Amino acid sequence: EKPKVVVTRKLPYAVEARLQALFDVKLNHDDRPLSTAELEVAMMGADGLLPTVTDAIDSDLLNVKGRRAGIVANFAVGVNNIDLAAAEAAGVVVTNTPGVLTDATADIALTLMLNVTRATWPAENRLRRGEWTGFAPTAMLGSGLQDKVLGIIGMGRIGQAVAKRCHYGFGMDVIYFNRSPVADPGVPAQAVESIDAVMAEADVISLHLPGGANNDKVISAARIALMKPTAFLVNTARGDVIDEDALVAALQERRIAGAGLDVFYHEPRVPEALRLLDNVSLLPHLGSATLETRTAMGMLAVDNLEAHFAGRPYPARVV
């Protein structure tokens, strides 16, 4: 008898094919997010759940009466959609998909950085509206990245990948803050003593820290106020790490130069005030959105499930 697994969203074909070969699996061909009641039924009827960032795996769900599932194999590196303390208390294993999405996410941080510093969105919009009147020496000017200071907050895998691209590709100087010391950041970079120091000193700030209660609005109004008026803020981490209202106010009042955002506080809701601004570049949570990366994430989630049911060490266990 194969273990029963419920998958909450449609996954790349190769991942679904492997899941079908290994498990008695319930796939989600329609890709409609499951309701809380449907997630409860899954936790009671299956041996394992394969959810993603859009599924809230909270304490009620982990403690549902008659729970059968012993593993939640998240399709994401971030696990802020899961109550980890409740999972640990309930004895439910949680795994994630680190490493395989590092480059794709760093690439999207660079995309946002280039889009917003070169103001490509308002320029492309002008062209698409048929309003471009031709090359003009002083029109649609952006600012260059060369010799500017990149500030990374959260110098893990993705932060380091962004630092490498910016240092070796664009000649930027790199400073960073990380909660714990980083033995080898993989690139010439200077650690600074606080988030505040990064906010105040960097020309481009890129966020790479985990979401969830510990970092909620860590990029606060007071910290945004420390930024240079010429500085840009880029977020490919989680929307809840920024006080979004404070950021919108700073952008509206042109107290900072711009922002590039791939994640939002209440996804998929993006405040209209943000959508109306021309000093922002906005993307719909595309960090890991390549077929190669999404396939690799799925395969790693399946590896975690396989290890669980075979009693082998997990490739990527969180709790």
Cα(46)–Cα(148) distance, integer angstroms: 52
Among 48, 78, 159, 185, binds ligand GLV (CB under 6 A): 78
Among residues 38, 40, 88, 267, the one annotated as catalytic is: 267
Among 42, 43, 53, 204, binds ligand GLV (CB under 6 A): 53
Cα(94)–Cα(68) distance, integer angstroms: 14
Among 159, 287, 298, 315, binds ligand GLV (CB under 6 A): 287
Q: Does 8 bind ligand GLV (CB under 6 A)?
A: no
Among residues 165, 238, 294, 308, the one annotated as catalytic is: 238
Among residues 18, 165, 208, 285, the one annotated as catalytic is: 285
Among 87, 101, 116, 145, binds ligand GLV (CB under 6 A): 101
Give the nearest distance from C-beta 239 to ligand GLV in angstroms: 10
Task: Please say if 238 is a catalytic residue.
Answer: yes
- Which range touches ligand GLV (CB under 6 A), out of 73-81, 121-129, 201-209, 222-230? 73-81
Q: Are 198 and 224 in contact (CB under 8 A)?
A: no
Q: Does 288 bind ligand GLV (CB under 6 A)?
A: yes
- Which range touches ligand GLV (CB under 6 A), out of 12-20, 70-78, 82-90, 239-247? 70-78
Task: Please say if 267 is a catalytic residue.
Answer: yes
* Nearer CB in complex with ligand GLV: 56/277: 56
Interacting positions 111-140 with ligand GLV (CB under 6 A): 135
Chain centroid to Cα 212, Å, comes to 12
Task: Please say if 285 is a catalytic residue.
Answer: yes
Q: Does 185 bind ligand GLV (CB under 6 A)?
A: no
* Nearer CB in complex with ligand GLV: 104/149: 104
Q: Does 102 bind ligand GLV (CB under 6 A)?
A: no
| Single-letter code of the amino acid located at 294 | R
Closest CA to 237 of 310, 146, 153: 153
Among 77, 152, 204, 259, binds ligand GLV (CB under 6 A): 77
* Nearer CB in complex with ligand GLV: 11/53: 53
Closest CA to 155 of 106, 104, 208: 208
* Nearer CB in complex with ligand GLV: 67/126: 126
* Nearer CB in complex with ligand GLV: 8/288: 288
Q: How many CA atoms lie within 13 A of 69 on its CB side?
A: 28
Q: Which tokens sit at 271?
A: 């405040």
Give the nearest distance from C-beta 246 to ligand GLV in angstroms: 23
Round to the nearest angstrom and report the end-to-end CA distance of the chain. 27
Give the nearest distance from C-beta 287 to ligand GLV in angstroms: 6
Q: Are 111 and 258 in contact (CB under 8 A)?
A: no
* Nearer CB in complex with ligand GLV: 81/281: 81
Give the nearest distance from C-beta 45 to ligand GLV in angstroms: 26
Residues forming contacts to ligand GLV in the complex (CB under 6 A) are 53, 76-78, 101, 135, 287-288
Q: Known catalytic residues?
A: 238, 267, 285
